[in-house]
Structure 1
Amino acid sequence: MSSIDNSLEAAVIQPMRLEDHADFIDMMARTPGVVLRTADGFAATERYLERNPGMSFVARLDGEPGIVGCAMSGHDGRRGYLQHVMVDPQHRHLGLGKSLVEHCLAALLEAGIEKVHLDTLADNHQAHRFWEHLGWSNRNAEIVRFSRVLVADDNA
């Protein structure tokens, strides 16, 4: 069996640290369906991890550089949110994404959070299938997301 075939068994899932930022950015850049924004910069990631300690996770393969998966989560005190859930395309369909999500959901539930939301890009149909497979509901018929950028940066 190749290391790809064994990636779930060989994967080490650990809390995301600020030291993982460069690997996180590298993974975002190589993952289809993920958009790298200014808000994913070092300082913003530092603020997010400090506000939500122990709620974001990365997956590494034993003995290999970089990360092969990531899931970030946090909450506002009443609702949880998942962001940047991604698995390297070479390591998909092995349960790694599901395991990362389960780590996040367990951390949110421990914090008293009983409902979690996430966003995907409208044209990321592979992500839609993943979330539906895990039992999540697509609520786009009842919820419309509005955003407003507060700085002069269209990529914020």
Structure 2
Amino acid sequence: MTPIIREIEDADVPAVIALWHEAGVARPWNDPVTDIAFARRGPHGTVLVAEREGRIVASAMAGEDGHRGWLYYVAVSPGQQGGGLGRRIVEAGEAWLAARGVWKVQLLVRRDNAGVVGFYDHLGYRDTQTVCLQKVIATT
């Protein structure tokens, strides 16, 4: 059955969080409820889901900063992997960004995740040979 790819709805949030844990993309230092709410708070971000037979089986968070687009939380249920669903949810994220005039898409992959690096390489993503630096700032 072909999945329906659409934007997340409030009722989907628990299923999406469960998918992120099942697929191994959730990290203890990132609160998924906060991340989903942040992505949905304005026109510059969204969470896309793939639904098959009433069940959320894939996701991709997309956002843009006015210069480039980013994909986060790309996840496919382990039982659904290998059938093209990952490619379809990534393409949906790319289409969402392209519809907003974004022409460059970036994403982060942990260096030791060779299988995922190979997946993105197959989709045309390339290592930018850059270093990603981070600083956590306090918010009130």
Task: Tell me the TM-score normalised to structure 1 length.
Answer: 0.79
The answer to whether the 8 Å contact 1:58/1:70 transfers is yes
1:125 matches 2:126: no
SS of match in other structure, 1:10:
coil
1:116, 1:108 → 2: CA distance?
8
Q: Which residue of 2 aligns with 1:5?
A: none
Residue in structure 2 matching 1:16, options 8, 17, 28: 8
Which structure's residues are more often strand, by fraction?
2
Runs (5+) with no aligned partner, structure 2: none
After TM superposition, give the deviation of residue 42 of structure 1 in Å. Answer: 2.1
After TM superposition, give the deviation of residue 113 of structure 1 in Å. Answer: 0.5
SS of match in other structure, 1:27:
helix
The answer to whether the 8 Å contact 2:23/2:78 transfers is yes
After TM superposition, give the deviation of residue 68 of structure 1 in Å. Answer: 0.9
Residues 37 and 52 of structure 1, relative CA distance in 2, 3 Å threshold: farther
Q: Which residue of 2 aligns with 1:92?
A: 81
Letter in 2 for 1:146: L
Residue in structure 2 matching 1:40, options 31, 34, 43: 31
Residue in structure 2 matching 1:143, options 107, 122, 130: 130
After TM superposition, give the deviation of residue 40 of structure 1 in Å. Answer: 3.4
- Highest Rg: 1 or 2? 1
Q: Which runs of 4+ in 1 moved over 6 A?
A: none
1:111 matches 2:103: no
The answer to whether the 8 Å contact 2:45/2:62 transfers is no
Q: How many positions carry a matched residue from both structures?
A: 139
Runs (5+) with no aligned partner, structure 1: 1-8, 152-156
Letter in 2 for 1:16: I
Letter in 2 for 1:24: V
Indicate the RMSD between aligned Cα atoms, in angstroms.
2.1
The answer to whether the 8 Å contact 1:18/1:45 transfers is no
- Identity across the alignment (%): 30
SS of match in other structure, 2:63:
strand
